[in-house]
Homo-oligomer: A and B are copies of this chain.
Amino acid sequence: MPANGQGEINVDESESYSDTLASSEDEEAACLSRTIERSFTTTTLPADKLATIESLPSKRDHEAFFRECIDIMLREAIFEGTSRRTKVLDFKQPETLLKLLDFDLKAQPSSHSDLIKSLKDVIKYSVKTGHPYFVNQLFSSVDPYGFVGQMLTDALNPSAYTYEVAPVVILMEETVLREMRQIVGWPNGEGDGIFCPGGSMANGYAISCARHYYFPEVKTKGLHGLPKLVLFTSEDAHYSIKKLASFLGLGTENVHLVNTNSQGKMDPDHLEQLINTSLENGERPFMVSSTAGTTVIGAFDPIEKLADICKKNNMWLHVDAAWGGGALISKKHRNLLKGIERADSVTWNPHKLLTAPQQCSTLLVKHKNVLSEAHSANAAYLFQKDKFYDTQYDTGDKHIQCGRKADVLKFWFMWKAKGTSGLEQHIDKVFENAQYFYENIKQRPEFQIVIPEPECTNICFWYVPESLRMNSTEEFLDKLQNDGEYKEKLHRVAPKIKEKMMTEGTMMVTYQTYKEKPNFFRMVFQSSGLDKNDMLHLIQEFERLGQGL
C-alpha cells in the first residue's frame, strides 16, 4: 500500500497499481505520496522559489483560485452576461480598450489578485455573445449543457486522433456523426464524417473529397498537368467556397458563380448553361456546391434539381448546410432541404441553428472511404499498426489536422440532455420566433422587407427613418429603384443605427448590402430562449434607435 497518510482520494480498481507502488521502497516510493499540486506546471511564485517544489502553491491554493475564477465567470459572463437587464457589450474604440485593459505581457509573474482583475476586465469588455439580444451572427446564446460539455472537454484536454489517447471522444464522434448521417437520410447512417474547425474548413474538405473522387492522382501528383478543374456555386453562397478553392490550388476564378433568383436560390437553368460553357471551354466541371440556408438571406437551393444536373454530368453534389442543417431535425421544416439525401457531402454546423458552443462543425460524406483515401498519410509514429486494439478506431488520419480539439463532447452532452425531440422543439421555436418577428415588422411603416417570405430564420429589412419614409411599400421600392440619392441616404442609415446600438450596448444586429440593395439589417434567430416579447422588444429597440435620423 502507498506510503502516506493522505487517504482522501479513493480510486476504483487501483489494486494492481497499488501493488506497483508497494514494490518501491526507497526515495522513489516517496514521490508517490506527493500531493496533487505537483502535477501542475510552474506558477506565479517569485522566480527564486520556483525550483523548490515545496514552495509551490498547494492544491488548496489552486482550488481556491479556480473556484474564485469560476464564480466570477459564472456570475459575470454567464448569468449577468446573458441577463436582459444588462448590456450586450460595453463598446470601446480599440485605442481606448488598449489603455483600459492591461494586455501587455511582462517579464515578471502577476499576483492572483491582478489576474482576477484581468479576468474581470476581459469579461467586462467582451461582447456577451450569449445575451438574448446578441443577434449579430450565425451563432448565439448559451446552452447550459453545451457549456458543461465544453468545460468537460477542457478538463480532459484530449486530442482527437487515436483511440489510445481519446477513447471516449472517438466513439462519441462515430455515434454523433452516424446519427447525423441518418438524419440526412443516408441508409443506416452509412458513410463517413469528421468534425472540423468551422464550416469553411468543412467546405474545403468537401472540395478536396470531390476532387479526389474524380482525380485521385491529385494526392500524389498535384494539379500539375491536369485539365482545369472547375466547380460551381451560387452568387449567394458563403465566401469560403472561393476561399478554400483558392487554398486548394484551384483558384477563385475557377469557381463559377451561378445566378440566384429573387429568393436567393440557385437557378438550375443557369447552372446547366454554365456547365455547358465550361465543357465547351475544355474545363472539367467536377462539383456543385449548393447552399441550404444562405448566409445573408437564408435561402435554400433546389437540391433535387441540382442533384439531377450533377447526376447527368457526373459531378459531386455538396450541400453547404452549415447554417440551415439544423432544420433537418424538425419534421415541420426539414422539407426545406428536400433531396439532401442525394448529396455526396453535407456541411452541417451544430454551433449555428442548434446552438452548440463554438465551435462545432461537421462534414458528412456519403462515400465511406473517400475522406481517408484523400487525406491519410499513415504516419508511423502515431498510427502504429501493431497496437493491441482494433486500429480502425484511430480515426485521426482522415483529417488534415493532427492534434485536434474534441468538438463533439459538448454537442453529444446537449443531445443527451434534450433528446432529439428537444432539439426539434428548439428548431420549431426559433422558426416561430422569426415568423412572428417578420409578420410584425411587415405591419409597421418604419420597416421595409428586403426578402419577402423568408425561408429560414434570417429576417432582412430596412429601417426607414421618418425623413425617408414613404406612404407605401410600392412607393418605397419605386424610390429605391429610381432615386440614387434616396438609395444612398438609406444606405447610410444602417451603419448609423449600428453605431448607436453598439455604443449604447442594447443589442447587436448586423447589416450588409445584397446585390444592388443598399445596407439593410439581418436579424438571425438561433436561441429558443427568446420569445414573442423579445421579438417585440427588438422591434421597439430599432424604433428607438432610429428616431431622429
Within 8 A of B (CB), among A81-132: 81-87, 90-94, 97-98, 101, 103-110, 114-115, 118-119, 122-132
Neighbouring B residues of A536 by C-beta, 8 Å: 27-28, 31
Which of A63, A155, A248, A418 is most buried by chain B, counting CB atoms within 10 A of its CB?
A155
Within 8 A of B (CB), among A158-181: 158-159, 163-169, 171-172, 175-176, 179
Neighbouring B residues of A21 by C-beta, 8 Å: 85
Number of interface residues of A (CB under 8 A): 221
Give the complex CA separation of A412 and B115 in angstroms. Answer: 11
Show 25 residue pairs from A and B whose CB-CB distance is below 8 angstroms, ordered by the A residue. Answer: A2-B85, A14-B87, A40-B144, A41-B528, A42-B422, A43-B144, A43-B422, A66-B78, A74-B155, A94-B171, A103-B175, A115-B145, A123-B156, A125-B168, A127-B166, A137-B403, A151-B151, A157-B358, A200-B402, A222-B228, A223-B250, A224-B228, A381-B522, A384-B512, A387-B495
A279 at the interface (CB under 8 A from B): no
Stretch from A239-247, A362-370, A448-456 that touches the partner: A239-247
- Name the residue on B nearest A90 (C-beta): B13
Whole-angstrom distance between the Cβ of A455 and the nearest chain B Cβ: 17
Beyond the given A44-B145, A158-B358, please list 16 additional residue pairs across the A-B interface where CB-CB is below 8 A. Answer: A24-B540, A28-B533, A41-B426, A41-B527, A94-B390, A98-B171, A115-B417, A122-B168, A130-B157, A139-B157, A151-B151, A198-B402, A204-B247, A221-B251, A296-B381, A381-B510
Whole-angstrom distance between the Cβ of A295 and the nearest chain B Cβ: 6
Would B246 and A218 count as touching, CB distance under 8 A?
Answer: yes
Give the complex CA separation of A171 and B99 in angstroms. Answer: 11
A226 at the interface (CB under 8 A from B): yes
Would A39 and B106 count as touching, CB distance under 8 A?
Answer: no
Would B529 and A38 count as touching, CB distance under 8 A?
Answer: yes
Would A199 and B409 count as touching, CB distance under 8 A?
Answer: no
- Name the residue on B nearest A115 (C-beta): B417
Would A253 and B220 count as touching, CB distance under 8 A?
Answer: yes
A143 at the interface (CB under 8 A from B): yes
Give the complex CA separation of A397 and B30 in angstroms. Answer: 54
Would A80 and B419 count as touching, CB distance under 8 A?
Answer: no
Would A240 and B402 count as touching, CB distance under 8 A?
Answer: yes
Within 8 A of B (CB), among A515-532: 519, 522, 527-531
| A-B pairs with lowest CB-CB distance, top 7 | A249-B249, A222-B251, A31-B533, A197-B197, A77-B155, A381-B512, A39-B82
Q: Which of B62, B110, B197, B419 contacts A404 (CB 8 A)?
A: B197
Neighbouring B residues of A110 by C-beta, 8 Å: 416-417, 419
Which of A9, A12, A506 is most buried by chain B, counting CB atoms within 10 A of its CB?
A9
Would B82 and A74 count as touching, CB distance under 8 A?
Answer: no
A537 at the interface (CB under 8 A from B): yes
Give the complex CA separation of A418 and B110 in angstroms. Answer: 7
Whole-angstrom distance between the Cβ of A478 and the nearest chain B Cβ: 25
Q: Which of B17, B106, B224, B393 contacts A251 (CB 8 A)?
A: B224
Give the complex CA separation of A129 and B349 in angstroms. Answer: 28
Whole-angstrom distance between the Cβ of A145 and the nearest chain B Cβ: 7
Stretch from A269-277, A299-307, A463-471, A497-505 that touches the partner: A497-505
Whole-angstrom distance between the Cβ of A495 and the nearest chain B Cβ: 5
Give the complex CA separation of A470 and B90 in angstroms. Answer: 71
A259 at the interface (CB under 8 A from B): no
Neighbouring B residues of A17 by C-beta, 8 Å: 86-87, 504-506
Would A38 and B94 count as touching, CB distance under 8 A?
Answer: no
Per-position contact with B for A1-31: 1 when CB-CB < 8 Å, else 0? 0101000010111101100110110011011
Neighbouring B residues of A87 by C-beta, 8 Å: 11, 13-14, 17
Neighbouring B residues of A475 by C-beta, 8 Å: none
A481 at the interface (CB under 8 A from B): no
Would A219 and B246 count as touching, CB distance under 8 A?
Answer: yes
Given contacts A251-B218, A429-B42, contact A105 B415 (CB under 8 A): yes
A190 at the interface (CB under 8 A from B): no
Given contacts A417-B109, A541-B20, contact A42 B425 (CB under 8 A): yes
A345 at the interface (CB under 8 A from B): no
Would A419 and B251 count as touching, CB distance under 8 A?
Answer: no
Would B357 and A219 count as touching, CB distance under 8 A?
Answer: no
Would B86 and A14 count as touching, CB distance under 8 A?
Answer: yes
Give the complex CA separation of A430 and B122 in angstroms. Answer: 31
Neighbouring B residues of A127 by C-beta, 8 Å: 156, 158, 164-167
A549 at the interface (CB under 8 A from B): no
A234 at the interface (CB under 8 A from B): no
Would A39 and B130 count as touching, CB distance under 8 A?
Answer: yes
Would A115 and B218 count as touching, CB distance under 8 A?
Answer: no
Would B152 and A151 count as touching, CB distance under 8 A?
Answer: no
Give the complex CA separation of A155 and B145 in angstroms. Answer: 12
- Name the residue on B nearest A416 (C-beta): B110
Neighbouring B residues of A73 by C-beta, 8 Å: 151-152, 155
Per-position contact with B for A337-352: 1 when CB-CB < 8 Å, else 0? 0000000000001010
Would A197 and B42 count as touching, CB distance under 8 A?
Answer: no
Would A83 and B20 count as touching, CB distance under 8 A?
Answer: no
